Amino acid sequence: MSEWVIDAEALVKTYKMGEVEVHALRGVSLKVRPGEVLSIMGPSGSGKSTLMNLIGCLDRPSTGSYRLDGEQVSDLSDDELAEIRSRKVGFVFQSFNLLGRQTALANVELPMRYAGVARGRRQRATEALEAVGLGDRLRHRPNELSGGQQQRVAIARALVNSPSIVLADEPTGNLDSKSGDEVMRYLLGLNKDLGTTLVFVTHDPEIAARTKRIVRLFDGEIVEDK
């Protein structure tokens, strides 16, 4: 295993909105060790979503280099990025993003299908759901689950391929404080039990307070890293 799980050098991301160029990131460098837990904070428009997209390999930087788990990913093709995502990255979204017509089990199995896991998918998905305390909800569909439970299904889905990093984008944004707290406990528990690197993207100071390291972004640049 390499020294850094996230090793970003001078990431720049520029969008063209019509004639105007928008500089979403202006040279961000970030190094994260395996097993670290950090929050990326900043007001809207500070570039934290863009940074998350780059870290999660959903997008490529305009310039700069990015190594994920030792692999250079800043100039891969779309399908190569998809492959990296399926092996190394887990996502937890604010709005859960579960497939509404599929059972919890099928939702958790989805990443394994795309990763080409042929055998033992059901077994692994069941274990992942048990790990988030949903062993008795395997056959439920999202609309039969509470918000907190749905988010836990999403966590199980993020975990099931044993990724190097889990990216959580405002994971408690749509939840009441009690289930939000539960979700946080499960996420942090993962880090403790499995050593998964956790990156929160949030502007909730309470979440940030529970992480050891806080990176603050402003206008596309890192202004604080502690």
Partner 1 sequence: MLSLLNFYEALDSLSSNKLRSALTVLGIVIGVGAVIGIMAVGAGAQNTITGQISSIGTNLLFVLRGGTEDIRNPKPLTIQDAEAIADPFAAPSVVGVAPVLQDTLELSYAGESTFAQSFGVTSSYNSVSNLALSEGEFVSEAHILGRAAVAVIGPDTAETLLGRREGVVGETIRIEGQPFRVIGLMTSRGGSGFGNQDNQVMVPLSTAQTRLMSRGRDRVDMIMVKASSPETVPSADLEIASILRTRHRTPIGSDDFTVFTQEDFLTTAGTITGVLTLFLGGIAGISLLVGGIGIMNIMLVSVTERTREIGLRKAVGARKRDILFQFLTESSLLSLAGGLIGIALGWGLSLIVGAIAAASDTDLTPSVTLDSVLLATLFSAAVGLFFGLYPAKRAADLEPVEALRYE
Binding to partner 1 (CB under 8 A) within 39-68 occurs at 53, 56, 58-59
Q: Which of 19, 78, 136, 193 binds partner 1 (CB under 8 A)?
A: 78
C-alpha span between 132 and 130 (Å, rounded): 5
Q: Does 197 bind partner 1 (CB under 8 A)?
A: no
List helix spans (H) across 39-146: 48-55, 78-88, 104-114, 121-131
Q: Does 111 bind partner 1 (CB under 8 A)?
A: yes
Q: Which of 2, 63, 70, 114 binds partner 1 (CB under 8 A)?
A: 114
C-alpha span between 205 and 157 (Å, rounded): 26
Q: Which of 39, 46, 86, 149 binds partner 1 (CB under 8 A)?
A: 86
Kindly provide the b/e burial profile for residues 183-195, where b requires at least 16 CB atoms within 10 angstroms of the residue's own CB: bbebbeebbeeee
C-alpha span between 147 and 183 (Å, rounded): 10
**Number of residues located near partner 1, criterion CB under 8 A:** 25
Radius of gyration of the chain (CA): 17
Tokens for 56, please give them.
């999660």
Per-residue DSSP letter, 173: T
Q: Does 161 bind partner 1 (CB under 8 A)?
A: yes
Whichever of 48 and 157 has its CB closer to partner 1, that residue is: 157
Residues within the interface to partner 1 (CB under 8 A):
53, 56, 58-59, 78-79, 82-83, 85-87, 91, 93, 97, 99, 101-102, 110-111, 113-116, 157, 161
